[in-house]
Amino acid sequence: MSFELTTLGEYISIQGGYAYKSQQFIENSTYPVLKIKNIRTGYVDFNDCAYIDKKVADETERYIVSEGDILISLTGSGPNAPQSLVGRVARFWNKEKRAWINQRVGRIVLKKDKTVHKDFIFYFLGTNESQNYLVANSSGSANQANINGAIIEALPFPQIDYSTSAKISQVLRTFDEKINLNNQINQTLESIVQAIFKSWFIDFEPVRAKILAKQEGKDSKLAAMCAISGKSEAELEQMSSDDFAELQATAALFPDELMDSEFGEVPKGWEVSMVGEQVQTVGGGTPSTKNADFWDNGIHYWTTPKDLSNLTDKILLNTERKITDAGLKKISSGLLPKDTVLMSSRAPVGYLALSKIEVAINQGYIAILPNMKYSAEYLIQWCKANMAEIKGRASGTTFQEISKKNFREISFVCPYYKVVDAYTKMVKTLYDEITLKAKENQSLINLRDTLLPKLLSGEISLNKNKGSIHD
């Protein structure tokens, strides 16, 4: 199977989003507006959406997107800032939500039904060849590159019939459906981890439960057990003796008093320090890209914040580039161990990931090294919980950046180390599952991305009757 070429414009046109005025945006509502920052590679990110009210939403209803729509960023960066490249393509997966598109977000519109399957267009636009074409034909500066409908429509595209494009899409979509399911599971697991951290180390719920129980003349340890487990006293009685004993031991670790500190109220016996006094933080660097000895046939993972920009599960398993032994020697922090917490320190501040590989970092990171007192699982959640403070300490005109000095001075509540140990033990199994799903997704993505070029070239053919593939 091979195909003659035409252009994408034979099949589609581009609908641009609506130019909402700044005064039309409100704090929050059920009517989200997607800006170019919400268009990620392959999916729509609903974090940090803009919102409009019902009146504006009704007036701009032609800009509503729904499940199955394909969106493309019409403005972004050039190749010097690949984490925000112009031409990113996303599928709108969500079945329940509706959203409205802002200007410079384009929607793919079929000129005629049943000419080509829409999912095929999505997969084709996501290939390296298509992405490179869009970036190469963009206009503007490296910091603000633009494309328009004419550029997208001029993209070389195979002359393919609807039936074949649907069968290819069906094969590729099975991968995405599994990837999406894994992402949903990981989001749920991450939410559980966050909730436990917030309960123990932000809201101090086990401590407050003990305080209230003491005031009411009740069993304070039992109250803490309920707060930790989310179970009632009756449900606790149904637990196995081993699980009950473990929960009881964890509850005993929390004090039954709060005390004043410069941070506000904290559990009695917990100190307030600075993060730089409790953990080691390091930065990185970039060996000269003009020196092939640093890059050619590299063997060590080397990361920039781009590698984190499209992570859905905050687990780093791979990097776009690798460096040689000679390149590694040019980075003072060297090769960082597994379970290092990575946080982007500029452009933008705040990408987070647990590195499950030994990795060297560029200058766009602050890396946080776990130690005997504070695990990686604890530290990444601490960063997430304190992200507003972290971003508030950033400065800069061209782009925001937080220095290691400013980061190290952030207040850090020091829990009793056995409480951190108990937390780590509880959430580590969840992080192990997140990592397992992330690894599975990486394999699925690699396989999916190799299939389309092979299907188009005829290296792999479709079973005409069932839409399956064979060599």
Q: Taking the mean position of all CA atoms in its chain, how far away is CA 88?
A: 15
| Claim to verify: residue 148 and residue 284 sit in the same structural domain | no
Question: Alpha carbon of 71 to those of 88, 113, 127: distances in Å?
Answer: 8, 18, 15
Asked whether the beta carbons of 66 and 36 are under 8 A apart, the reply is: no
3-state class percentages of the chain: helix first, strand second, coil last, to nearest 5: 40, 20, 35
Looking at residue 216, its pLDDT comes to: 95
Query: Token digits for 41?
Result: 């590679």
The verdict on residue 346 lying in a domain is: yes
Contact of 265 with 361, CB cutoff 8 Å: no
Q: 283: Cβ–Cβ under 8 A, 6 or more apart, which residues?
A: 333, 345, 361, 363, 365, 366, 367, 404
Would you state the pLDDT for residue 466? 47
**In sequence order, what are the residues at sequence separation of 6 or more whose Cβ sits closer than 8 angstroms to the Cβ of residue 369?**
279, 280, 281, 282, 336, 337, 340, 341
Domain harbouring 115, CATH code: 3.90.220.20
* 199 lies in some domain: no
| Cα 52 to Cα 69: distance, rounded to the nearest angstrom | 21
Q: Does a structural domain hold residue 88?
A: yes
Q: Give the number of other Cβ atoms within 10 Å of residue 19's Cβ.
A: 10
| 119 is a domain residue | yes
**Is 140 found in the same domain as 281?**
no
138/74 Cα distance (integer angstroms): 9
Question: Domain range holding 364?
Answer: 275-415
Is position 247 within any domain? no
CA dist 217 and 54 (Å) reads: 51
Residues 153 and 294 reside in one and the same domain: no
Beta bridge partners of 267: 258
Instruction: Give the Å distances, CA to CA, from 92 to 14, 28, 167, 353, 452.
Output: 16, 21, 20, 25, 21
- Domain boundary pick from 364, 397, 415: 415
Nearest to 281 by CA among 146, 95, 407: 407
The answer to whether 227 and 267 have CB atoms below 8 angstroms apart is no
| Both tokens assigned to 469 | 């593939």
The predicted structure's pLDDT at residue 471: 47
Flag whether 300 is in a domain.
yes
Is the distance from CB of 361 to CB of 333 less than 8 angstroms?
Answer: yes
Would residue 463 be called left, alpha or beta, if left means φ above 0 and alpha means ψ between -120 and 50 degrees? beta
For the chain, what is the domain count? 2
Give the DSSP H/E element, type plus range, for residue 451: helix 417-457
Query: Distance between CA 398 and CA 347 in Å, rounded?
Result: 9
Q: Which of 132, 160, 188 is the last residue of a domain?
A: 160
Decide which of 393, 415, 437 is a domain's last residue: 415
Mean pLDDT by 10 residues, the chain (471 residues): 86 96 93 92 86 96 92 83 77 82 96 93 92 91 87 95 93 91 94 97 97 96 96 94 96 96 92 96 96 96 90 92 97 97 92 97 97 97 96 87 96 96 97 97 92 84 57 47
- Nearest in space to 32 (alpha carbons), one of 55, 50, 48: 50
Question: Helix or strand or coil: residue 246?
Answer: helix
- Residue at 189 is within a domain: no
| 385 domain residue, yes or no | yes
| H-type alpha helices, 198-296 | 205-215, 220-229, 233-236, 241-252, 275-278
Whether 148 and 293 share a structural domain:
no
Residue 469: the pLDDT is 53
Same domain, yes or no: 292 and 148? no
CB 77 within 8 A of CB 125: no
The values of phi and psi at residue 285, to 5°, are -165, 175
Task: Tell me the C-alpha distance between 257 and 269, whole Å.
Answer: 9
Q: Are residues 151 and 13 in the same domain?
A: yes
Rounded to two decimals, what is the model's pTM? 0.83
* CA triple 271-365-306, angle to 5 deg: 135
